[in-house]
Each structure stands twice: as structure tokens, then as C-alpha cells.
A and B are shown apart, each in its own frame.
Chain A
């Protein structure tokens, strides 16, 4: 009994169902894969056998290069995996799309790439019109005039107020009293005074009759005399 027959017999005892299934290979392989595999392997072998230049003074841990390609591959895949994981959380559908570049680039584009000089014509400069310039100047002049005038007037008011104060200081007491008398006559007709409730009899108690008579005489207020005397 050959080895194959022995194994088939064993399987029939264990599971007739499995023994009945065809051993047809269901997986596919790219065309010419096995034709190219030896060369691919030898290229990798040569890459790992690069000779040292001028003698290598440095040492490398044992078996360092054995797993180097694996560790690089693992790290690369880990980075990709994290990105893929993140995208899978945010947008699973987007993550399922192949990262193929749909854009094409002209042949030798990057080879011939160079920064070109700026040959474009300078942009046209549009100036403001002359009439607009005059209007602008006129408006500025008006504003300046208003400001200067305001400052000047304000200065005059301040200086006049200070002048008035100085002038008042120069006046005598008699002149001031006269002024006050003249002012009080005017204030009699003032609506504010007429509206105020002034207790005249109380105020008049402290003024003697003679003083009152004199006052009235001086001010020619005879019409009011009877009213005061009555109170």
C-alpha cells in the first residue's frame, strides 16, 4: 500500500465525508508567480549581503538583520493599522475605499520640475480720479476749519471768563452792592421767586420800619407799601 492509499484509508475510517471531498486547490495564485519567486528571493538575499566599505569597526548584535525586515514591516503596519483604526471609527465606509491615486501626472513631470520665473505682467494700478482728489482736500479743509474755530472760540471763552473774574476783583463794594440791588429788582419779577413760598412776615421782623421805609423810598415801591404795612 502506498503512502497516499494509507492516508486515504485512514481518513475514510475517520470521516467518509471528508474522504469524499475533492482535493482540488481552491486558492488562486498570480500568473508567473513561481517563475519570478526565485529571483525575488535572490534580490532580497543580495540586499542583506551588502559588503562593508574600508572595514567595519562597529559591531552589530547577533541576528540583528535576521528580523530587521520583519520589525520594520511590523512597525510600518502598526502605523498603518492605527491610522486605519482611527478612520474605521470615524468613517468606516471611507476606510474601506482603496487608497489608489486616481490622478495621473505627465511623463517625466517630476524629473523636469523647476520653479519658473514670474513672467506675468505686473498688475494694473488703478489711481483715484483727480476730481475725487479735490473733493477730498476740500472736505479735509472744512473739517480742519471747524476744529480750529472751535478751539479758538473755546480759548476766547476761557480767556473772557478769566478776564471777568479779574474785572470783578477790581470793582469796589459799593459798585457790587449797587449791582446786587439792580439784580434783586429784576429777580422780583422772576417766576421762580414768585413761585417760592417766602415767609415775608418772618423775614420782615428783623427789619425795622425805618429801614423798610428807606428801602421803599429808594426803590420807588409805593404801591406795595400798604400790603407790607397790613402784614
Chain B
């Protein structure tokens, strides 16, 4: 039986039920958060590291969560920040520009054992990796997670208007990439 976010948060604040409630939260949101992270970092092992770090931060901060936004939005925000932090660290470690990190992500896509350059779904992934970070986030949240702009603005701390513009630009760039390749 699936408990609501409020019930889970209530249980989490009970010392005896804290771990049980947290495990339930992980099971409820792990796949959504995982794919959100995976689409940003591409590699499974990297996604696993980022996601586990995100859940550890959630564990520490959940006690103080004020519920002024939905739990789901708050979890997405933490996972997004962890993904961006990871990509930033990749950039520093490699001592290359972010564009080179993005091309590195494209190479990881091509290195996937199931990669098929002739399939449109794989070309779409390559096209998405060509986008700047923020546009990539916006497109993924809208296209794959079907997130409303209102919710997205809370996750990314950006106005709805800017997010709409960003999404439109991203879609145009992807289409151009697909038509020219």
C-alpha cells in the first residue's frame, strides 16, 4: 500500500519509523529521480553515485523540510543540483571546457552497447547532449517527465516565461540537429 507524501514525512519524523519511512520514499521516487539524473550524466555508474549522494542529502535535510512545495519537487531539485555539481566536477577534473564535457557525454552515448546510430531515439539522445546544460534540463523535464512549467520553475528556480523560451529553443535546436545528420 502506497502512503502519501505527507504520511511518509510524518513517519520519517518518528525515530522508530524514520528508516522505514525513508526506505519507502526511496522506493517511491528512485526510478523517476534515477532517469532524471541518468539523462544528465549518461553513464549508469555516474548516475548511481549522483543519486546515492542525493538521497544522503535528502536524509539529512528531510527533517527540516517545511512542505511549502511538494516533496516530489523538492526531491527533483536536490537531484538536479547533485547532477549539475557532478558535471561541474567533471569539468574541473578534466581541465576542459563544459563543451568538451558535453562531447564526452555524447561519446558515452555512442559507447553504449545498445547504441544504434540509425535509430531516431539514439539520435535524439545525441541531439539533447548538444544542448547547453540548462536547456538540456528544461527539455528533459518537459519532454520525458512531462513536468508543468509552474513546477519546473520551483525545481530550477527560474521564471515560467524563461523556461518556455528555453524549451522552445531546445526543441528547435534538436530538430535542426536531426534534420542535418
Contacts and interface: CB of A to CB of B under 8 A. Distances in A.
Interface in A17-57: 17-18, 21-30, 33-34, 37-38, 40-42, 44-45, 48
A204 B163 CA distance: 140
Interface residues of A, number: 36
Interface residues of B, number: 47
A164 to B, nearest CB: 95
B66 interface: no
Interface stretch (A3-11, A98-106, A142-150, A184-192): A3-11
Given A3-B148, A26-B121, A41-B52, A78 B93 contact: yes
B121 A21 contact: yes
B44 A29 contact: yes
A196 interface: no
A34 B30 CA distance: 7
A27 B178 contact: no
Interface string B47-63: 01101110111011000
A11 B171 contact: yes
Overall SS of chain A's interface: helix
Contacts of A48: 56
Contact of A74 (B93, B124, B168, B171): B93
Contacts of A30: 44
A15 B49 contact: no
A18 B170 CA distance: 11
B35 interface: yes
Contacts, number: 97
Contacts of B179: 17
B146 interface: yes
A41 B146 CA distance: 27
B60 to A, nearest CB: 7
Given A18-B175, A26-B125, A40-B52, A81 B146 contact: no
Nearest to A46: B19
Given A15-B172, A21-B124, A22-B121, A41 B60 contact: no
B143 interface: yes
Interface stretch (B5-13, B20-28, B73-81, B129-137): B20-28
Contact of A37 (B26, B42, B53, B120): B26
Given A22-B121, A34-B30, A69 B53 contact: yes
B122 A17 contact: no
Contacts of B178: 17-18
21 contacts: A3-B146, A3-B148, A14-B171, A18-B124, A18-B143, A21-B120, A22-B120, A24-B121, A27-B38, A27-B44, A27-B112, A29-B34, A30-B44, A37-B26, A41-B26, A41-B56, A42-B22, A44-B52, A69-B53, A74-B89, A81-B94
Given A18-B174, A41-B56, 4 more contacts: A3-B148, A27-B35, A37-B26, A41-B26
Interface of A: 3-4, 7, 11, 14-15, 17-18, 21-30, 33-34, 37-38, 40-42, 44-45, 48, 66, 69-70, 73-74, 77-78, 81
Interface of B: 19, 22-23, 26-27, 30-31, 34-35, 38, 42, 44, 48-49, 51-53, 55-57, 59-60, 85, 89, 93-94, 112-114, 119-122, 124-125, 142-144, 146, 148, 168, 171-172, 174-175, 178-179
